[in-house]
Amino acid sequence: MSKCVRLETKFSFVRRAARRFVFPALTSAIWLLSACATPPGISVTAIDVVEVGSTDNEVAIRIQLSNPTKVSIRIDTWKYSIRVRNKEVYSGEWVSAITIPPESRLLTAIPAVVPIQSQPGPDSPWSVEGSLLFLETTRFSQLLYDLGLKRPTTLFSASGPGMGSGGTIPSAG
C-alpha cells in the first residue's frame, strides 16, 4: 500500500505542475500565435508642399500601402515626425479610417504643417519616421484590439533629397 500512496502522490504533483505551468504556457502560446498580424507594407513615395500660407506650409506625405494577406487590414493611427535639413519641423498623429483589401495596394497621404521659416522646397532634404497602428479585420483580431490586449504596430521611415509641390491636401479617411 505504501507504493500506491507514493505513486499517487507523484501523479498528484504532476497534475498540479501541469495546471500551474504547462496549461497556461500552452494557452498563452496559442493565443499569441493566433493574434499575430502581418503588417501592411508602407512605402513613402514623396513629401509634397500642397499649400503655402503666410506662416505655415501644408504638406502631404505620399504613401503606398500594400496588403500581402488574404484578409483586409484596417489602418488606424499614424504617429510620425518630419525632419527638414536634419531639424524636426513636425510631429503628430493622424487617424485614418482606411481599409486595405486583401492582396492589394493603394495610395494615400497623411498631412503635416511645417512652419514657413523651415522653407521646405525642392532643395530641402527631408526624412520622415513613425509608427502605424493597424489590425486585421477578423473577428478575433477585432476583439483583442477592442479589449486593448493586442494593438499591432509597425514602424516606417524614409528620406528624400527635396520636397515636391502640388496635389491635394489629405482628408480624414
Identify the residue whose cell numbers are 480624414: 172
Q: Which residue has the higher pLDDT, 151 or 40?
A: 40
Higher pLDDT, 147 or 30: 147
Q: What is the mean pLDDT of residues 81-92?
A: 93
Q: Residues 99-124: what's their mean pLDDT?
A: 86
Ordered DSSP codes for 106-161:
EEEEEEEEEEGGG--STT--EEEEEEEEEEE-SHHHHHHHHTTS---EEEEEEEES
Residues 63-83: pLDDT tens digits?
Answer: 999 999 998 998 999 999 999
The number of residues in the chain equals: 173
Tell me what percent of the residues of the chain surpass a pLDDT of 90.
Answer: 40
pLDDT band, very low/low/confident/very high, at 25 (cuts 50, 70, 90): low
Residue-level pLDDT at 63: 95
Secondary structure class of 44 (helix, strand, coil): strand
- For residue 123 the three cell numbers come to 532643395
How far apart (Å, rounded) are the C-alpha atoms in residues 112 and 169?
9
pLDDT at 26: 46
pLDDT of res. 128: 97
Q: What is the mean pLDDT of residues 87-113?
A: 93
Cα(86)–Cα(84) distance, integer angstroms: 5
Q: Could you give the CA distance from residue 125 to residue 54 in angstroms, rounded to a whole number?
A: 22
Which residues contact residue 125 at a Cβ distance below 8 angstroms, ignoring those fewer than 6 apart? 84, 85, 86, 159, 160, 161, 162
Q: Which pLDDT band holds residue 4 (cuts at 50, 70, 90)?
A: low
